[in-house]
Structure 1
């Protein structure tokens, strides 16, 4: 059954399913404008997800063919996946921050084999065992989805209002979960007059009960050392200062008191960094650190793809510790190990 929730003030949410994913669904928001409805995210590119989105739009009194535009909080397939189908149905524009737009272009232009070769090298450098790296070299790589995401045709400019006639929706750049993640601040009175400053479409940046993945998104041809966790923590503080009356996230449910949630997440990451220093009393590779970190299940029960994501998150935390001068790489060995200082 299609689930539609009316948040008032011309904003509704549709629960679009994510196949075979514990998150269950993406909350796609339908925002009324003077030129027709605009979507904030679109959901996963899957037939059932598309049917759910279409049925939800019908329940809202509109249709996929009437969508004026799509605002993408970030490039992940559970947010951007159906954007192309929406544009095919309606001619809608697709807007995305340039940093994530660059990832979309790079993904489309790079042969899958190039990506798997790069990922194999990254995992080997992180200390992954051969049994984890070997599948990336096999023919099974050709079954990997997600290599043709829709190209955006508009750039979201941080700090500026989006071109939504009759609405005031301002882009807030919140890198960390992805380099070009944006939150969207609806600078209008809350329809229920809740205290605070408007409403915030928070994507995956600020969720009520879970912590978003912070990993690495790098150009194979760019040697820049990024600090995505540092970017995320800075972005959290920026969002907290907005003090929205209500947060409309892309997963779970709407909530109030963004400031309290920001403080919880900042404390969580500080506790996690401190805990990692205890683990780094002995030199560890990123893979070894990931094996010892606390996840939502024991390492032995974490599936293959999630282990790759976990190692990326472990490396993001290591980079933060190194930048803070709390850990350092041990020279002279391969793969590289890290130790607390």
Structure 2
């Protein structure tokens, strides 16, 4: 049974499943245009996901070979994964912000061994225990990981330029750069009257930037060739405030469900992160490595139950929050500590 929702005004969403993931699905949006339907995101690269996407399109009278274009909010595999297969089936163009396109290009060019060595070095620097790092060293030594994931996703052929209207016949869809979840994440503002006349300025395809009941993961931007001290959480908070000022009538996110009152949700997320930063400052009354900080932070389950890969994501989020505190002058790295330790100031 296909799970298609019509949102009015030539917009639909299709629930495309994500295998073995508590999020459950990605909402792939379909936007009718004068040159044919355009997808906003595509879903995970998986046979069931592909079949669901095709069935959903068929249910609204669209053949996969009739897709005109694909707009990707960000490079993560539950959004970008099926873009290559869509392009092969339809000849559609694929658009993405340049910062995330560069990540896709780097992934295609990277040797798995190089990436595993980088990750092992990063985890060592933040104080991860040897028993956590050892599987990465083994995987590199044995060549068990021969390719990096996501290689079937398309290398985009169009660039989404922040602030500009996308070239979509008969539609006004403006790109809003919202870095934080990824460096090139974009929201897409449909600057048209709401079909149900809800008050506000059109609708917003928000990707993972603004979700009704989840705070998206904000970790460090990973680039083995760039040692710049980026501030993803600062980027995210600034982007949230920018979205809050748009005054949209309705948000169409990539997970969960559509919702009104973006400004209220923005304020909830701003408050959430301020509370989290305050809590981390209390923990940093004693010097801690980012790994030790992650162990003590509140997650959706006890640390002992968090799987290996998810611990890497958790420590990246801890680092992003510590980096924000350092930028604000509320914490600092302890000189000479190895692995690095931070303390509140």
Pairwise CA distance, 1:332 = 1.3
SS at match of 2:146: helix
| Counterpart-to-counterpart distance in 1, 2:105 and 2:236 | 23
Match of 1:99 in 2: 99
Match of 2:311 in 1: 307
| Counterpart-to-counterpart distance in 1, 2:12 and 2:152 | 29
- Give the TM-score, by structure 1 length: 0.99
Q: Is 1:15–2:19 an aligned residue pair?
A: no
Pairwise CA distance, 1:150 = 1.6
| Counterpart-to-counterpart distance in 2, 1:141 and 1:215 | 23
**Kept in 2: contact 1:108–1:148 (CA 8 A):** no
Pairwise CA distance, 1:138 = 2.1
Q: Is 1:246–2:257 an aligned residue pair?
A: no
Once the two structures are superposed, residues 207-231 of structure 1 have per-residue CA deviations (whole angstroms, 9 ceiling, x without a partner) of 0001000011232111111000000
| Counterpart-to-counterpart distance in 1, 2:303 and 2:154 | 34
**Kept in 1: contact 2:97–2:185 (CA 8 A):** yes
**Kept in 1: contact 2:111–2:147 (CA 8 A):** no
SS at match of 2:332: strand
The within-5 A match list for 1:1-341 is: 1-139=1-139, 140-142=144-146, 145-341=149-345
Structure 2 unmatched ranges of 5 or more: none
**Kept in 2: contact 1:326–1:340 (CA 8 A):** yes
Pairwise CA distance, 1:265 = 0.3
SS at match of 1:15: strand
- Greater CA drift, 139-148 or 231-240: 139-148
| Counterpart-to-counterpart distance in 2, 1:149 and 1:322 | 36
| Counterpart-to-counterpart distance in 2, 1:336 and 1:254 | 42
Pairwise CA distance, 1:63 = 1.2
Once the two structures are superposed, residues 70-116 of structure 1 have per-residue CA deviations (whole angstroms, 9 ceiling, x without a partner) of 00000000000000000000000000000000000011111111111
Pairwise CA distance, 1:135 = 1.2
**Kept in 2: contact 1:107–1:148 (CA 8 A):** no
| Counterpart-to-counterpart distance in 2, 1:238 and 1:326 | 24
SS at match of 1:56: helix
Pairwise CA distance, 1:163 = 0.6
**Kept in 2: contact 1:112–1:147 (CA 8 A):** no
- Greater CA drift, 169-178 or 133-142: 133-142
SS at match of 1:242: coil
**Kept in 2: contact 1:183–1:203 (CA 8 A):** yes
Query: What CA RMSD, in Å, does the superposition of the two structures yield over aligned residues?
Result: 0.9
| Counterpart-to-counterpart distance in 2, 1:68 and 1:289 | 47
SS at match of 1:328: strand
Once the two structures are superposed, residues 283-306 of structure 1 have per-residue CA deviations (whole angstroms, 9 ceiling, x without a partner) of 100000000000111101111111
Structure 1 unmatched ranges of 5 or more: none
